[in-house]
Amino acid sequence: MESVDILITHAEELLTLKGPKKPRIRQQMKNLGIIKNGSIAIKNGIIVDVGKHLRYKTDIIIDASGKLVMPGFVDPHTHVVFAGSREFELNLKLAGVSYLEILRRGGGIFHTVNLTRKATSTQLLKESKKRLDTMLSYGTTCCEAKTGYGLDVQTEVKLLQVQKKLQETHPIDIISTFLGAHAVPSDKNSNEYVEIVINEMLPETKGLARFCDVFCEKGVFTIAQARKVLTAGKKHGLVPKIHADEIALTGGASLAAEIGAISADHLLCSSTAGLRAMAQQQVTGVLLPGTPFCLMMQRYAPARKMIDLGVPIAVATDLNPNCWTENMQFIIQLACLNMQMTPAEAITAATFNAACAIGMHNGVGSLEKGKQADVLLLDCPNHQFLPYHFGVNLVETVIKKGKVL
């Protein structure tokens, strides 16, 4: 009998997410590839078999009776590396001060930029590792990490280097995104700063980033400026992403389709035409329900409309000092309760489609033979229980690359 390192048996529900090798759309998002009384065999960090009643020799048998077994969560939009905090802004929000007004007063991103510029790499590593440890405890096994709290060449490079060090030392797989165009520094105008991003920052990203992002928003960067930055990023080998149509309709969704972005994120105010263009080009829409929740907005991204149009949907935490959550379980719950996604759709959005949004779906996001053994055991009798029981950590066991953590 063949031997393996770990054999997981008797899962009440085993969510394989087996299906098409590209982002799931429409009805595909409801197919979790469920195996009742399921088993997984793991060897050398890789899944070698998935099915029922598997028989292998092993020293480690995990009895998952009464448990939900599923892929590790993939968080495809975070700003995990930053210094300090902004809890003082809550009173401003409660008084009705808008996000853009807080930004105008020198708060928001600028407050974090000042602290992050002053922070040493060692300090940033320490603070970010703590956040990543929390993410892992809640079941995130792969994430994207953006820069953007430097807004000068030296600090943006420092953030990229910290992200690289975290990727090398932390169990979570970390995929790096350059977001130099996150805001316009107070001592520059937007056109001047775009030239700095293109001519001075982008050449420094070689070997340190996979994606280039831009905050295309009213009062920040225009469509023309975003196109210029993302086009320049492509020349440096960086795949485009875009913060699109979060606070106002700027045309970010349409630009994402035009420029070949892998994802467009936020999308609260996108036009039907823009969403249709995304669907046609299969640009993944990364929805961040934690952000309107923190901003006490009534408006959320129109997930149901997007699914109906055929836009592939992922969800993410948007972990940052304005929306500080490391918990993808909470994001799944918000997706169901505030965006009317079904539990199955939200789980697909937090695993396989999330992996597609950062180009990692060939290795993670589903439990299939030959894929990385990133596996969660949850104290849930079925997948519908995950968004139903909120406010607690339902993850009991995290297995990362075949190691029980």
Q: Return the sign of the alpha-carbon dihedral for residues 111, 269, 75, 279.
A: negative
274 and 316 fall within a common domain: yes
Q: Measure the CA–CA gap between 369 and 230, rounded to whole angstroms.
A: 36
361 domain-assigned? no
Strands 68-71 and 239-244 turn out to be: unpaired
**Contact present, 18 and 366 (Cβ < 8 Å):** yes
- For the record, the structure tokens of 199 come out as 């001519």
Q: What is the pLDDT along the chain (405 residues), one digit of tens a residue?
A: 799 999 999 999 999 999 999 999 999 999 999 999 999 999 999 999 999 989 999 999 999 999 999 999 999 999 999 999 999 899 988 998 887 788 778 788 899 999 999 999 999 999 999 999 999 999 999 999 999 999 999 999 999 999 999 999 999 999 999 999 999 998 999 999 999 999 999 999 999 999 999 999 988 999 999 999 999 999 999 999 999 999 899 999 999 999 999 999 999 999 999 999 999 999 999 999 999 999 888 999 999 999 999 999 999 999 999 999 999 999 999 999 999 999 999 999 999 999 999 999 999 999 999 999 999 999 999 999 999 999 999 999 999 999 999
By C-alpha distance, which of 296, 295, 340 is closest to 315? Answer: 340
Q: What is the largest CA-CA distance in the chain?
A: 69
pLDDT of residue 100: 77
121 and 49 fall within a common domain: no
380 and 308 fall within a common domain: no
89 and 204 fall within a common domain: yes
Q: Where are the alpha helices (DSSP H) in 60-144?
A: 89-94, 99-104, 109-118, 121-137
pLDDT of residue 276: 98
pLDDT of residue 51: 96
**38 strand-pairing partners:** 11, 52
23 and 170 fall within a common domain: no
Query: Which CATH number does the domain housing residue 338 bear?
Result: 3.20.20.140
Query: Which CATH number does the domain housing residue 391 bear?
Result: 2.30.40.10
pLDDT of residue 98: 83
pLDDT of residue 1: 78
By C-alpha distance, which of 328, 339, 225 is closest to 285? Answer: 339
Look up the domain containing 78 and give its range.
Answer: 74-356
Q: Measure the CA–CA gap between 234 and 287, rounded to whole angstroms.
A: 24
61 domain-assigned? yes
172 domain-assigned? yes
86 and 62 fall within a common domain: no
1 domain-assigned? no
**Contact present, 13 and 30 (Cβ < 8 Å):** no
Going by the DSSP 8-state scheme, the letter that residue 79 receives in this structure is -
191 and 274 fall within a common domain: yes
Tell me the Cα Rg of the chain.
Answer: 21
Q: How many separate domains does the chain show?
A: 2
229 and 374 fall within a common domain: no
SS3 (DSSP) at 68: strand
276 domain-assigned? yes
- For the record, the structure tokens of 17 come out as 């997410």
261 domain-assigned? yes
82 and 155 fall within a common domain: yes
203 and 348 fall within a common domain: yes
* pTM confidence score: 0.96
311 domain-assigned? yes
252 domain-assigned? yes
**Contact present, 239 and 211 (Cβ < 8 Å):** yes
14 and 127 fall within a common domain: no
Contacts of 105 (CB under 8 A, 6+ apart): none
SS3 (DSSP) at 320: strand
DSSP for 163-179, please give it: HHHHHHHSSSEEEEEEE
SS3 (DSSP) at 246: coil
174 and 58 fall within a common domain: no
Going by the DSSP 8-state scheme, the letter that residue 221 receives in this structure is B
